[in-house]
Chain A
Amino acid sequence: MSIHSPAADWFKAPTGHERLWIGLAVGWCIVLSLMMPYWHFKGKQNSSGETYRTTPEEFQARVEKFSEANAPGTRDNFAEGLNVEVPAPPGDIYLIAKQYFWYPILKLRAGETYRVHMSSVDFQHGFSLQPMNMNFQVIPGYDHVLTLTPQAPGIYPIVCNEFCGVGHHTMVGKIIVE
């Protein structure tokens, strides 16, 4: 009985269907365990967690330098909370999250590979690229690098999906792919 003490000889190996099921379940768990390392080496979508320490001030300076270099005359737009379109060359590019916007609007080319540095200058934010529904965490003090290869031209909204304050739901940026 489940609510009474078991017989003294309760310690014994499973038999019959129970043993069969445990065997199947163990086999399935091994499949589950092997899929992740397999995809890490063979799959194209992984979260490597490549990260560097940064500070809000330092990261913001790098973003402003990046947008000024690629879209001259935009230096002050971040401070004013205005978004600008920045044509980004392949390689290291920058995206910053702040209550309640993503800066800048990155213009990327399909098929090229970019190293997107993301960080926040205030609270935690969630990078959620639609409609593919690709999601990554953005945390102040950490420069999170995604090595990303856009596939098709279009306009892709970036929704914030980590609660960051009362205007959280209005925090939508975009990536333009040409």
Chain B
Amino acid sequence: MNPATPSTSPLPLWKRICDTTGLPVCRDAELFIKLNAVCAVVFLLVGGIGALLLALTRWQTVHLLPVEWFYRIVTLHGLNMLIFWILFFEVAILYFAGTTLLNARLYSRKVAWVAFGMMLVGALLVDVVILVGQADVMMTSYLPLLAHPLFYLGIILVAVGTLTGVFNYFATIWQAKRQRTYEGSVPLVVFGATAAAIIAVVTLLHGAIVMIPTFLHSLGLIAQPDPIWYRLIWWGLGHQSQQVNVCAMVSCWYLIGNITTGAKALNETVCRGAFVLYILFINLASAHHLLVDPGVSATWKIWNTSYAMYLAVLASMIHGFTVPASIEVAMRNKGYTKGLFGWLTNAPWQNPAFSGSFLSMCIFGFIGGITGVTLGTQQINIIAHNTLRITGHFHATVVGGTTLAFMALTYYVVPLLFRKDFIFRPLARIQPYLFAGGILLLSLGMSFAGSLGVARRSWDIEATGSVHGPSAHLFLAVLGLGGILAFASLLLFVLLTVGTLLFGKSNVGRAMVDWGTPKTLSDAGGHGHGGEVVSGGARAVSPSGEAAHDTRGTLVLALVFLASFAVYYFANWKALADVWPVR
């Protein structure tokens, strides 16, 4: 890689200045961001191939995989998508946020190598053990089901490796603070990334607490841990790790909003406060998996899913407002003031980072969020537990939300860090829409099939005669078609990314080719941005000089959201009231 040091100021050797944004890039961090991002995309592809096979099997008319392979691939798909792809990408985000945004140097190369090595070895170990048929236990591996000891060892390695990477991040921001590489408070994106890192520590400790005894048990060294204890602690890993995603995803929304439209938080206190709510209260989400379990009382279930849990819901509702509101204000200040939604219709929808990020927000909020809160309601869980409604929910949060946001960010990561401009740009522009459409179909197909009673993780719903009617089969077909579309656009994403790394035109020494960022209209008083240059820190100033806070459009969207939420929530209470009395 050629150094791009500007001739004007002598730069220390450990960093370079980004040709596009003018931000400093730590070379060590850059290396590990690249390594982690590449691994993330490889695991995404592995999980994605699994996804296609599963979708084509659950679509009962196609019913592709043989039975052993179906359950094997469910296990593989879950771990690669929910754990490996996400964790590798998150470590990359942490290294980015801790160095570039704080003008700081990565704390330790060695620690980063150790973390990366452990994660990679662990992940490969898990995948190999699954593929040779020694771990057909699903991602959750509920006791007394037992896999080969190397399966648990692999997961422990990934968890400890990730913890090591997170430690490197904390050390990096601590060192930056000591060396005063930045002034005042850390930027919002760093704050969000730090929230994600703190939750990750709590999450991974749960993983260690539950996986180490299970590993020892699989070796025959200790007696079997209690299955309910296992469920409770395992979900401290399984659900909370997804809240790490939520934090990282929301940070991506803020970051991309800023890069593409110049949006800045209306009120830093509100945004940061919402992240603090995640840190404090999201750990209770573990209880959502035990709502129809024996061994825990109704009081325990209600207590742990109401009070503070809803403060974490509140946090998401706040971010869901502040992100589009900040975009609205930025766009209005650029002169896009027409009507309620002129700011939105003029947003850079041709920019895949913007469209991916905004679609991620919509799918996460309207589908994932609303279904999640409703299904996590203690009594409503009776008509949802372990059906496809659950997978319908979390494919909207984790795939439509987090994965799409991470894809969106990649459209800047590759040009800015790998310093190659994307190939086949028109295809890249439509990729987020195809993926969002596929996931939407997949998620809705799952949700409706689940409402009709179709179980998740089941190879054949008619193995013993007809339990479910033709409409269940219709929705399974919708699931299958959505899966095909989502996989096709995932493959497109991987091909575009890898193709760009191999064949993309280098942009070293110049700004990246712009994906499209809205110009400031001349009558708004500002000066136009060069269409060819990404507006890394677009200065959004209204004619009066002071940013006006007109967020009517966002408020209307938010009210539509609240109304949808209420309708879905109470419709579910009505559905529950129709089933047999039980207590």
A45 interface neighbour in B266, B379, B451, B537, Cβ under 8 Å: B379
Decide yes or no whether B546 CB sits under 8 A from chain A: no
Contact across chains for A37 and B302 when beta carbons are under 8 A apart: yes
Within 8 A of B (CB), among A1-17: 1-8, 10-17
Contact with A along B556-583 (1 / 0, CB 8 A): 0011001001100100010011111111
Contact B314–A123 (Cβ < 8 Å): no
B-side interface residues, number (CB < 8 Å): 109
* In contact, A3 and B258 (Cβ under 8 angstroms): yes
In the assembled complex, how far is the CB of residue A131 from the closest CB belonging to chain B, in whole angstroms? 6
Across-interface contacts of B185 in A (CB, < 8 A): 5-6, 10
**How far apart sit A146 and B294, CA to CA, in the bound complex (Å)?**
10
Known: A2-B263, A51-B294, A142-B295. A14 touches B269 (CB 8 A): yes
Q: Among B451, B559, B582, which residue has its beta carbon within 8 angstroms of that of A133? A: B451
Q: Could you list 24 examples of A-B contacts with CB < 8 Å? A: A2-B188, A2-B254, A3-B187, A4-B537, A7-B184, A10-B269, A16-B549, A18-B322, A25-B318, A32-B313, A32-B377, A40-B379, A47-B381, A48-B583, A49-B297, A122-B144, A126-B385, A134-B580, A141-B227, A142-B294, A148-B582, A150-B580, A159-B458, A168-B459
Known A5-B183, A6-B188, A39-B573; contact A134-B562, beta-carbon cutoff 8 A: no
Tell me whether A147 is interfacial, beta carbon within 8 Å. Answer: yes
**Interface pair A33/B580, CB less than 8 Å apart:** no
Complex interface: chain A residues within 8 A of B228 (CB): 139, 142
Confirm or deny: A143 has a beta carbon within 8 angstroms of a beta carbon on chain B: yes
A160's nearest neighbour on chain B, judged by CB, is: B455
Question: With A2-B189, A12-B267 known to touch, is A169 a contact of B298 (CB < 8 Å)?
Answer: no
Instruction: For the complex formed, measure the closest distance between the CB of A38 and the CB atoms of chain B, giving whole angstroms.
Output: 10
Inter-chain contact total with CB atoms closer than 8 Å = 304
Q: A138–B559 Cα gap in the complex (Å)?
A: 41
Interface residue? B523 (CB, 8 A): no
Checking A17, A29, A134, A169 against B458 with a beta-carbon cut-off of 8 angstroms, the contacting residue is A169
- Which residues of chain A are within 8 angstroms of B2 by Cβ–Cβ distance? none
Once A24-B562, A139-B228 are accepted as A-B contacts, the answer to whether A169 and B382 lie under 8 Å apart by CB is: no
Could you tell me if B258 and A20 are in contact, using CB atoms closer than 8 angstroms? no
Given contacts A14-B267, A46-B582, A136-B385, contact A3 B101 (CB under 8 A): yes
Interface contact B226-A1, CB-CB below 8 Å: no
Q: Is A176 an interface residue, CB under 8 A from the partner? A: no
Does the CB pair B551–A18 fall under 8 Å?
yes
As a 0/1 sequence over residues 106 to 137 of chain A, the CB contacts with chain B under 8 angstroms (1 = contact) are: 00000001000000001110101111111111
* CB closest residue in chain A, given B254: A2
In the assembled complex, which residues on chain A have CB atoms less than 8 Å from the CB atom of B433? none
* B residues in contact with A48, CB < 8 Å: 297-298, 583
Is the Cβ of B295 less than 8 Å from the Cβ of A25? no
Q: Indicate if the CB atoms of B386 and A135 lie closer than 8 Å.
A: yes
A163 to chain B, nearest CB (A): 5
Given A18-B266, A43-B379, A128-B386, are A29 and B580 neighbors across the interface (CB < 8 Å)?
Answer: no
Let me know if B552 is at the binding interface, CB within 8 A: yes
Instruction: Identify the stretch in B3-11, B24-32, B304-312 within 8 Å (CB) of chain A at 4 or more residues.
Output: B304-312
CA distance A131 to B451 in the complex (A): 10
**Given known A3-B258, A32-B306, A46-B582, contact A130–B377 (CB-CB < 8 A):** no
Tell whether A18 pairs with B583 under 8 Å between CB atoms, given A46-B379, A163-B138, A172-B467. Answer: no
| Chain B residue with the shortest CB-CB distance to A8 | B184
CB-CB < 8 A to A132: which residues of B?
383, 578-580
